[in-house]
Amino acid sequence: MNPPNIVILAAGKGTRMYSDKPKVLHALAGRPLLEHVLATAVQLSPASICVVYGHGGEMVPRAMAQYKAEFALQEPQLGTGHALQQALPHLSDGSPTLVLYGDVPLIQHSTLHQMQRAGEGLVLLTVNLANPTGYGRIVRNAQGDVQRIVEEKDATPDQREIAEVNTGILLAPTEKLRTWLGGLQNDNAQREYYLTDIVAMAVAEGVPVHTVQPSHAWEVEGINSKAQLAALERTWQQVIAGRLMAQGVTLADPARLDVRGHLSCARDVEIDIGCIFEGEVRLGQDVQIGAYSVIRNSSVAAGTRIAPYSHIDGAEVGGDCRIGPFSRIRPGTKLQRDVHIGNFVEIKNSQIADGSKANHLAYVGDATVGTNVNIGAGAITANYDGANKHRTDIGDSASIGSNCVLVAPVTIGEGATIGAGSVVTKQAPAGELTVARARAVTIPGWKRPQKTKK
């Protein structure tokens, strides 16, 4: 089979979302619903992708600009059949057309691949539901062949008892699809052009109609409200948690995990409750992540321990490091091996070499820190002059005393010691003690001012 044309219908307003944002741009697992569908579509190496949008105007094409897709506007919105008509100019007759939905985000590549292998003709993705309320029913004849799809509002009481329902996802020969779409009528309860009506047309022409069912019902769950979005979020997080545990990851509580991107873990990783992983995160062997930590677009090497309530964003953390609790590691930071970053310490755009420590209440920004450096409590690099950022260089084995301010640009030599409370504005020589603070003065007899009684 030739690579398919893929059409993603994403024009719905999402009235029950009660939001000015188009429904397909609401996030599930950290990504817009539509982006989930596009990412799956790309895996099929399609001949083309066309997104049919409507509500929200250019917000949808703008948000998905990173994908090589065509965008077709549906205005006004007169049903799914009418929506697919808007995509016809972008479809190649030499390829079949696969129809997906921007508000059905979790359809899996494996299911779509199964549809491609189902046979020539029209292929429908259906599912059996214990409660099929709201879905179009699959009507079959006595031999079990699909005859048509009946929308619930147009169904008879007997038809409403049918458990097999239409998901809306289908694969069709494009040349036939053009003809069928041209023949759609809107003589139904909604006065809309139903895409589902093409099934009866295919049957009338003797075109084979095949059905495929997904491995999991959650693959075809659609989003129409914030409650449905929240429920599917938890379902998907449970799926992710199950996959991680199957790979050997220890989760303190699989129900209290959020992966909003992609998390890859080596062996013997342990993750405590309430942790959030965003973007691309890689955890090495024997890494432990403490409760309620947030890690975004970062890598953590083997043996490192992240204590609770730590935030790591856009950083590389080396092996056997100790981070937190309540540490903040910001973008551009690279920690090498056996680095200790303690409570209420913030590191930004800095490189810290093996064995160095900043254990308490410090800020290190735009700095290069050598090996075995100790940064005392309350020490900061004053890296911003109000207009530009400047760097601080701290040599190997230097010791920075408590409550020091290193005013960048400045260099602290190898083995230098900076006395507590110093404000350093020029180079501190290697191997020497530098003290830069005002002499203590006592004023005898000084009285603290008193408030005047009214």
Length of the chain counted residue by residue: 454
| 140 falls within a domain | yes
- Number of domains the chain contains: 2
89 has a pLDDT exceeding 90: yes
13 has a pLDDT exceeding 90: no
Q: Distance between CA atoms of 196 and 176, rounded to whole angstroms?
A: 14
| 451 falls within a domain | no
Average pLDDT of the residues in 250-275: 98
Q: Please indicate, yes or no, whether residues 279 and 398 belong to a single structural domain of this protein.
A: yes
349 has a pLDDT exceeding 80: yes
Average pLDDT of the residues in 288-311: 98
**Is residue 360 flagged as an active site residue?**
yes
pLDDT of residue 55: 85
| 449 falls within a domain | no
Instruction: Identify the three-state secondary structure at position 135.
Output: coil
| 450 falls within a domain | no
Q: Would you state the structure tokens that stand for residue 126, as one six-digit string? A: 């259906």
Q: Please indicate, yes or no, whether residues 124 and 78 belong to a single structural domain of this protein.
A: yes
Which of 178, 203, 220 corresponds to the end of one domain?
A: 220
Q: Please indicate, yes or no, whether residues 187 and 247 belong to a single structural domain of this protein.
A: no
427-439 residue pLDDT tens? 999 999 999 998 8
pLDDT of residue 181: 96
pLDDT of residue 88: 97
pLDDT of residue 12: 87
Q: What does each C-alpha distance from 128 to 32, 101, 113, 136, 228 come to in angstroms?
A: 27, 19, 20, 12, 19
- The pTM of this model reads 0.92
Which of 167, 188, 220 corresponds to the end of one domain?
A: 220
Q: Please indicate, yes or no, whether residues 94 and 151 belong to a single structural domain of this protein.
A: yes
Q: Please indicate, yes or no, whether residues 69 and 207 belong to a single structural domain of this protein.
A: yes
275-293 residue pLDDT tens? 999 999 999 999 999 999 9
Position of tokens 């890598």? Answer: 299
Domain range for residue 413?
A: 226-434
Q: Please indicate, yes or no, whether residues 28 and 163 belong to a single structural domain of this protein.
A: yes
Q: Please indicate, yes or no, whether residues 15 and 154 belong to a single structural domain of this protein.
A: yes
CATH code of the domain containing 318: 2.160.10.10
353 has a pLDDT exceeding 90: yes
Q: Please indicate, yes or no, whether residues 257 and 147 belong to a single structural domain of this protein.
A: no
Q: Distance between CA atoms of 348 and 332, rounded to whole angstroms?
A: 6
CB distance 297 to 316 below 8 Å? no
pLDDT of residue 451: 87
| 446 falls within a domain | no
Q: Please indicate, yes or no, whether residues 289 and 372 belong to a single structural domain of this protein.
A: yes
| 387 falls within a domain | yes
Which of the following is catalytic: 90, 216, 360, 390? 360
Average model confidence (pLDDT) across the chain: 96
Q: Give the confidence band of 215 by pLDDT, cuts at 50, 70, 90.
A: very high
* Range 94-110 burial, b when 16+ CB lie within 10 A, else e: ebbbbbbbbbbbbbbee
| 442 falls within a domain | no
Q: Please indicate, yes or no, whether residues 216 and 304 belong to a single structural domain of this protein.
A: no
* Range 262-294 burial, b when 16+ CB lie within 10 A, else e: ebebbeebbbbebbbbbbebbbbebbbbbbbbb
189 has a pLDDT exceeding 80: no
1 has a pLDDT exceeding 80: no
Residues 6+ apart with CB under 8 A from 291: 252, 272, 273, 274, 275, 308, 309
Give me the helices (H) in 146-225, please: 174-182, 198-204
Q: Distance between CA atoms of 152 and 301, rounded to whole angstroms?
A: 54
Average pLDDT of the residues in 154-177: 95
pLDDT of residue 320: 98
Q: Please indicate, yes or no, whether residues 169 and 292 belong to a single structural domain of this protein.
A: no
The type of residue at 95 is S
> Which residue in 262, 264, 256, 261 sits closest to 234, CA to CA?
256
Positive or negative, the CA dihedral 151, 155, 159, 163 is positive
Average pLDDT of the residues in 121-126: 97
Burial class of residue 15, CB neighbours in 10 A (0-12, 13-18, 19+): exposed
Average pLDDT of the residues in 44-54: 96
| 444 falls within a domain | no
Average pLDDT of the residues in 115-132: 95
Average pLDDT of the residues in 297-326: 98
pLDDT of residue 268: 98
Percentage of residues in the chain having pLDDT higher than 90 = 92
Q: Which of 167-176, 192-201, 265-274, 299-308 has the lowest mean pLDDT?
A: 192-201
- CA 84-88-90 angle, to 5 degrees, is 120
CATH code of the domain containing 209: 3.90.550.10
pLDDT of residue 284: 98
Which of 220, 254, 287 corresponds to the end of one domain?
A: 220
The type of residue at 2 is N
Average pLDDT of the residues in 300-307: 98
pLDDT of residue 285: 98
Q: Distance between CA atoms of 98 and 417, rounded to whole angstroms?
A: 68
Average pLDDT of the residues in 108-117: 96
Beta pairing class for 122-128 and 164-172: antiparallel
Residue 56 zone, left/alpha/beta (φ > 0; ψ -120 to 50; rest): left
Q: Please indicate, yes or no, whether residues 216 and 236 belong to a single structural domain of this protein.
A: no
pLDDT of residue 438: 87
383-400 residue pLDDT tens? 999 999 999 999 999 999
